[in-house]
Amino acid sequence: MIPAASFSGKRVSLFGLGGSGIATARALIEGGADVLAWDDNPESVAKAAIAGIATADLRGADWAKFSAFVLSPGVP
């Protein structure tokens, strides 16, 4: 995995926690980002939480607190 170091120290929201979303979240975290992720599928959210990825429903997010929003490559 290649860490996404350009997001180091930044708060990033991510939507989509399938295989590519989990990999994206891990790359962001390894690069030093503070990631908050969500998916409409409860099983995907549970898998992400087990993997140590912070999750919360982004519909109520305060978007002013995020530096970036990432839409997982697997989201149609």
Task: List the CATH number of the domain containing 44.
Answer: 3.40.50.720
pTM: 0.92
Asked if residues 45 and 39 have their Cβ atoms less than 8 Å apart, the reply is yes
Residue 76 belongs to a domain: no
Sign of the CA dihedral with 15 first, then 16, 22, and 23 last: negative
pLDDT digits (tens, 9 = 90+) for 30-53: 999 999 999 999 999 999 999 999
Q: The domain containing residue 53 runs over which residues?
A: 5-71
pLDDT range class, residue 62, cuts 50, 70, 90: very high
Q: In 1-76, at which residue ranges do the beta strands (DSSP E only) sit?
A: 11-15, 34-38, 68-71
* 18 occurs within a structural domain: yes
Q: Read off the pLDDT band of 73 (50, 70, 90).
A: confident
Domain count, the chain: 1
Question: How far is residue 17's CA from residue 38's CA, in Å, rounded to a whole number?
Answer: 7
The residue with tokens 């994206």 is: 24
Question: Does residue 50 fall inside a structural domain?
Answer: yes
